[in-house]
């Protein structure tokens, strides 16, 4: 770890990697909270994987792949939103199909892209040590959009996440807000591509928020805690992986997964311990 | 009091696919009324409420609520669902849930106004849940959650209050409390309440609509064994009313 500290001071690429991890944490804490409480992890996974189609197409046509990813993520959020609103009874199958078809399209485009410049692995699993500077700006901009949107629309977004039927009765534009929520998830997927890659996105999107829901009572507090946890996981994963030269993205995910396991077990033991204590007056109902 | 009915249902039919749920239903509810809706399970009670709320579209017939279409009128209705559409473990406090009743009044951006918070506090006091304000809903008992749902509906400042089996999963004492509260609220607003419990509800409401695919209205005084037999198809003990 000390080795990581000194390397961090001397190597610009490590500083960029650290910053990328922290910027990604902001998005995954905020959007991830909605994904966890609204239980749309599978939808988020579908959006993330289908993005490869857009990145592949962007490479083939010679456009910046991150720009392709951004467009593809928003498009797949809208398609998946349309699927869940229009074909609710077949939602599961259709999202699974969209998930795989998106990836297949990406693989075909990349195979047909002239030259051998494309590193498919870095899209799938991320490469935080090679984040270009302009991508950091893109990530900061996406974070700003996320924070401002959620701050401005926190009440209607909570209403839609909590109880769609009641929100509809109150005259809120429920369909629009739901699609907006999926688009925020899509932006976060793009944020995370450089850090952990398309395949591991879903873990950083859900695990920090899932741990936070075990310890905080409101969406706002869960978001703050999830951002902090996300920062710890990305920074910790980066530091742990640096010495032994392990893949950073995978290390972050293992750290997050292990933390979730520990948090769940500790919470469970705590609840059993509390239940076993003699009841104080008015303590239980 | 205006003479025009607040809810007017004419020739209403509804089917889930090929399965008819309601057929040729007429119903007129006047302002200030406390109407009970009873009937067997799957008889169409909840469906009728959802049609009045504009959550479902009728197959045939017309509904006017406060002289408007149900969808545009739903903002002026407070609705307490039988099965809450939300997950009980959702991380949200009692106060936050009651405050969602204030949505639809005023702007959507930013936070709640001080008046919204004041009003939410007032309705939490009325429903005796003020001391639970900061509790997460997952920690509430069935009766407490029911009061939260009533407070949320009241926070909408409704002209009509619609409750679907508000006392289905709570004990008799709390059931009486909730109906006493409804009786007090009835001085200010029209109330429709669905119940499977004809005997209990008759002590509170003046008119009962019996829904079993079709709809028949009775003054509570006239409910006798024959009515109940027709509605439920026998096997129901006769209920004597003490009016």
Dump pLDDT digits (tens) for B107-136: 888 889 999 999 999 999 988 899 999 999
Asked if A169 and B93 come within 8 Å (Cβ–Cβ), the reply is no
The overall average pLDDT reported for chain B is: 84
Higher model confidence: residue B169 or residue B15?
Answer: B15
Chain A: closest CA distance from residue B42 (Å): 21
The enclosing H or E element of A230 equals helix A219-242
User: Which homologous superfamily does the CATH classification assign to the domain defined by B7-86+159-232?
Assistant: P-loop containing nucleotide triphosphate hydrolases (3.40.50.300)
Chain A positions touching B103 (Cβ under 8 A) are 155-156, 159, 167, 170, 172
Distance, in Å, from the CA atom of B74 to the CA atom of B173, rounded to the nearest integer, reads 31
Looking at the partner chain, which of B75, B86, B141 has a beta carbon nearest the beta carbon of A163? B86
Mutate to test the interface with A, among B103, B141, B155, B156 (most CBs of A within 10 A): B103
Dump pLDDT digits (tens) for A117-161: 567 788 888 888 888 888 899 999 999 999 999 999 999 999 999
CA-based torsion, B150, B156, B159, B163: positive or negative: negative
Q: What is the pLDDT of residue A279?
A: 56
Which residues 147-206 of B are in CB contact (within 8 Å) with A?
152, 156
Dump pLDDT digits (tens) for A40-75: 999 999 999 999 999 999 989 988 888 899 999 999
Q: Are A204 and A48 spatial neighbours (Cβ–Cβ below 8 Å)?
A: no
Distance, in Å, from the CA atom of A172 to the CA atom of A160, rounded to the nearest integer, reads 9
Q: Per the structure block, which two tokens stand in for A106? A: 């990406």
Q: What is the pLDDT of residue B228?
A: 61
Distance, in Å, from the CA atom of B40 to the CA atom of A190, rounded to the nearest integer, reads 52
| Predicted complex ipTM | 0.85
Dump pLDDT digits (tens) for A175-212: 999 999 999 999 999 888 888 888 889 999 999 999 99
Chain B: closest CA distance from residue A39 (Å): 10
Chain B positions touching A219 (Cβ under 8 A) are 91-92
How many CB atoms neighbour CB B85 within 10 A? 12
Sketch out chain A's domains with CATH numbers: 2-273 (1.10.3470.10)
Looking at the partner chain, which of B86, B96, B108 has a beta carbon nearest the beta carbon of A153? B108
Distance, in Å, from the CA atom of B223 to the CA atom of B243, rounded to the nearest integer, reads 12
- Residue from A77, A21, A53 nearest A232 by CA: A21
In B, minimum Cα distance to A216 occurs at: B91
Q: What is the pLDDT of residue A137?
A: 92
Chain A: closest CA distance from residue B181 (Å): 22
Instruction: Give residue B224's region: left, alpha or beta (phi > 0; psi -120 to 50).
Output: beta
Dump pLDDT digits (tens) for A216-247: 989 999 999 999 999 999 999 999 999 898 99
Asked if A217 and B91 come within 8 Å (Cβ–Cβ), the reply is yes
Asked if B104 and A170 come within 8 Å (Cβ–Cβ), the reply is yes
In A, minimum Cα distance to B136 occurs at: A217
Looking at the partner chain, which of B53, B55, B91 has a beta carbon nearest the beta carbon of A218? B91
Q: Are B80 and A164 spatial neighbours (Cβ–Cβ below 8 Å)?
A: no
B202: pLDDT strictly greater than 70: yes
Looking at the partner chain, which of A165, A170, A172 has a beta carbon nearest the beta carbon of B55? A165
Dump pLDDT digits (tens) for B67-91: 999 999 999 999 999 888 898 889 9
Q: What percent of chain B has pLDDT over 70?
A: 88
Looking at the partner chain, which of B97, B108, B141 has a beta carbon nearest the beta carbon of A285? B141
Higher model confidence: residue A19 or residue B206?
Answer: A19
B53 touches chain A (CB under 8 A): yes
Q: What is the pLDDT of residue B243?
A: 42
Distance, in Å, from the CA atom of B160 to the CA atom of A91, rounded to the nearest integer, reads 36
Q: CB burial class (10 A; 0-12, 13-18, 19+) of residue B183?
A: middle
In this structure, what are the phi and psi dihedrals at residue A165, rounded to the nearest 5 degrees? -60, -45
Q: What is the pLDDT of residue A170?
A: 93
Q: What is the pLDDT of residue A3?
A: 79
**Which range is least confidently modeled, A35-39, A131-135, A205-209, B46-50?**
A131-135
The overall average pLDDT reported for chain A is: 90
Residue position matching structure tokens 């959009």: A145
- Residue from A206, A284, A32 nearest B141 by CA: A284
Q: What is the pLDDT of residue B104?
A: 82
């Amino acid at each position: 770890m000390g080795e990581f500290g000194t390397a961090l001071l001397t190597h610009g690429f490590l500083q960029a990697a650290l910053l990328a991890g922290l910027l990604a944490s902001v998005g995954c804490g905020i959007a991830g909270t909605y994904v966890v409480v609204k239980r749309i992890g599978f939808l988020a996974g579908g959006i993330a994987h289908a993005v490869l189609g857009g990145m592949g197409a962007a490479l083939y046509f010679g456009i910046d792949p991150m720009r392709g990813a951004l467009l593809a993520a928003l498009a797949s959020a809208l398609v998946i939103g349309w699927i869940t609103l229009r074909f609710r009874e077949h939602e599961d199958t259709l999202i699974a199909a969209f998930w795989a078809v998106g990836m297949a399209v990406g693989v075909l485009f990349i195979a047909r892209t002239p030259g051998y410049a494309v590193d498919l692995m870095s899209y799938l699993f991320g490469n935080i040590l090679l984040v270009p500077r302009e991508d950091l700006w893109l990530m900061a901009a996406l974070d700003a959009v996320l924070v401002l949107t959620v701050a401005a629309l926190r009440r209607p977004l909570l209403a839609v996440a909590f109880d769609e039927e009641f929100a509809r009765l109150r005259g809120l534009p429920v369909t629009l807000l739901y699609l907006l929520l999926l688009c925020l998830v899509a932006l976060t997927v793009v944020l995370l591509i450089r850090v952990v890659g398309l395949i591991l996105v879903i873990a950083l999107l859900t695990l920090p928020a899932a741990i936070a829901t075990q310890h905080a009572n409101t969406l706002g507090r869960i978001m703050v805690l999830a951002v902090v946890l996300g920062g710890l996981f990305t920074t910790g994963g980066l530091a742990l992986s640096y010495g032994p030269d392990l893949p950073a993205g995978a290390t972050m995910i293992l750290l997050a997964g292990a933390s979730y396991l520990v948090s769940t077990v500790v919470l469970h033991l705590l609840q059993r311990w509390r239940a076993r204590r003699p009841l104080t007056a008015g303590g239980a109902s | 009091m205006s003479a025009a009915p607040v809810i007017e249902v004419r020739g209403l039919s509804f089917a889930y696919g090929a399965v008819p749920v309601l057929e040729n239903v007429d119903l007129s509810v006047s302002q200030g009324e406390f109407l009970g809706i009873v009937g067997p399970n799957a008889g169409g009670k909840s469906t009728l409420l959802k049609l009045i709320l504009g959550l479902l579209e009728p197959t045939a017939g017309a509904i006017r609520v406060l002289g408007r279409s149900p969808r545009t009128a739903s903002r002026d209705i407070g609705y307490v669902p039988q099965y809450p559409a939300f997950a009980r473990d959702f991380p949200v406090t009692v106060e936050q849930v009651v405050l969602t009743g204030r949505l639809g009044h005023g702007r959507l951006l930013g936070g709640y106004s001080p008046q919204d918070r004041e009003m939410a506090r007032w309705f939490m006091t009325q429903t005796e849940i003020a001391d639970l304000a900061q509790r997460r809903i997952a920690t509430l008992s069935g009766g407490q959650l029911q009061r939260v749902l009533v407070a949320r509906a009241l926070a909408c400042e409704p002209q009509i209050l619609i409750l679907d089996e508000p006392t289905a999963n709570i004990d008799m004492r709390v059931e009486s409390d909730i109906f006493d509260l409804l009786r007090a609220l009835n001085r200010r607003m029209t109330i429709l309440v669905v119940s499977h419990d004809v005997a209990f509800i008759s002590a509170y409401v003046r008119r009962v609509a019996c829904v079993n695919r079709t709809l028949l209205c009775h003054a509570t005084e006239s409910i006798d064994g024959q009515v109940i037999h027709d509605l439920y198809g026998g096997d129901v003990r006769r209920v004597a009313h003490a009016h």
